[in-house]
Amino acid sequence: MKAHYLGHVVFYVKDLERSLGFYRDLLGFKEVGRIFNGAASALTSGRTHHELLLIQVGDAPGPSSGRRRGLYHIGIKVGDRL
């Protein structure tokens, strides 16, 4: 199996608008949609539908809730043969 490219990265963030200010306004990502009643934003650099998803979790408690701020997951596009 071979990795073809990095598909997307998902971050849990405290403040969605502040995080958008960094990724959209400073780094130039384009917001392509909101989900979870506006609590999450998908962003793209133009290469794919979205390379980045930001999900607002606010001041969620630690690991027991499963929604800590920071990296949630990374999607990697791989081939379908071993």
The number of domains in the chain is 1
Please check whether residue 70 lies inside any domain of the structure: no
Residue that the structure tokens 């400073």 belong to: 26
Stretch 10-29: mean pLDDT, rounded?
Answer: 94
pLDDT of residue 64: 46
Domain residue limits at 27: 10-58
19: its two tokens:
């995080």
16: its two tokens:
């969605």
Q: Could you tell me the CATH number of the domain that includes residue 25?
A: 3.10.180.10
pLDDT above 70 for 22 = yes
21: its two tokens:
């200010």
pLDDT above 90 for 67 = no
pTM strictly above 0.85:
no
Instruction: Dump pLDDT digits (tens) for 51-62.
Output: 999 999 877 555
